[in-house]
Chains A and B, each alone.
Chain A
């Protein structure tokens, strides 16, 4: 391969996102070609550049800036902020969520607080609008927290995301489809089970039913399979019996799972 073609692959090679075959193409080439090899070497050498740390005074400057900014703002701020609404926000603030989601949320809290205290008119006629806005922002914030946590590398954080989604009586559509996706594809059995548990509370929504019932055929874990079968029995979907009849035809099914499915079928008929 020519250097130009290798050069096109290098950025992905740096990032480690090349397919296995292309990976070895690059490696074979750089073993032969000094120019391309030096490019790889210099990329790697960049990691030698030191991590710089802000001086200690920087945090103080930040605090001073913040306080100056807020002093400037407070003249305009409204005094009317119902205690129940504040309770809602602050109890949410204290809830244990993952660090990343947390900082994401903080930003939105900032947005919210800014909208609320900073730039709105102070007339009480605007209060209803403000409260509505606050609810929307709070909902968006929670949604963002759950969605971002479900994307985390660590199963523990994804688990937290799932359990956080349980706090809502209403399931946001995006959160719901994220939970269904988690139920189907998450690498951890624990997380899949938790997602199923969270979804099971929203059986009144037809799409939740569909997501759960569809998940059965793809599950490999006996634990999750049994939990799905039990839920299908509990919900008594019209097509549950047919789904289970198809399911027990699956070759190499775990005997305990097959037994459970047969038992569920007998209860459904």
Chain B
């Protein structure tokens, strides 16, 4: 699989703020790459550099093999960029706005109408086709921004928080659109603060903190890294207290917490085989209903990797 976006040692400084420091990562073609990080981490800055709107101080960035600094005109037709605060001419109609950008991207006039209609349909703006942009709600504007950046049928999409301001249904719709685009072989770089969304959407993520990349790779690996200990959730038919005491005597267990319904068992980090717990319980006549490994959430991974968590 070839590389769609490649960033090497990218640095960008605003007066005294290091927005991006020595950033390097790759996004492969067809990937949906989630870009996360706390506020002010430098996500927008990186995306603006990729979108040829900002010059980096040093380092290189390539999109589909073209250098964004030296060959911006080669890069621009290939990408669709959706800024965080989506710009739109307030005194235009939705359809006029999209037709204008289609013209700006030099879509031939005979195809323009069709391209615009496709984008409107894809982003669910059909009802608002002839509405004034000024009167659109925030979510509608967000969709308009998405429609705009699809107008030149780009191979790489750079979306800065596309889901902000969308209602849950619209969010799922946008996810579906993005997934469809991914299936069409487009590369998507998406930044978001809604982690659950990225969990189901992306196959790769990068976590940025203070302008530095703290993680880049698959979600599963990020979760694995965040896992510092193994916690089991055990449900028994009855006698939780006794089971707790019994297990504590068994050894090989760090901590036990007894709840109403659930018996929490913490095992040392790196324990791969925890079948001995079940064995001990059954051997001592406890009636085991379920034994489950506690899930690590992406939120935990995020907190862990950005150093904000414990």
- A and B associate: no
B interface vs A, CB < 8 Å? none
A residues neighboring B (CB under 8 Å) = none
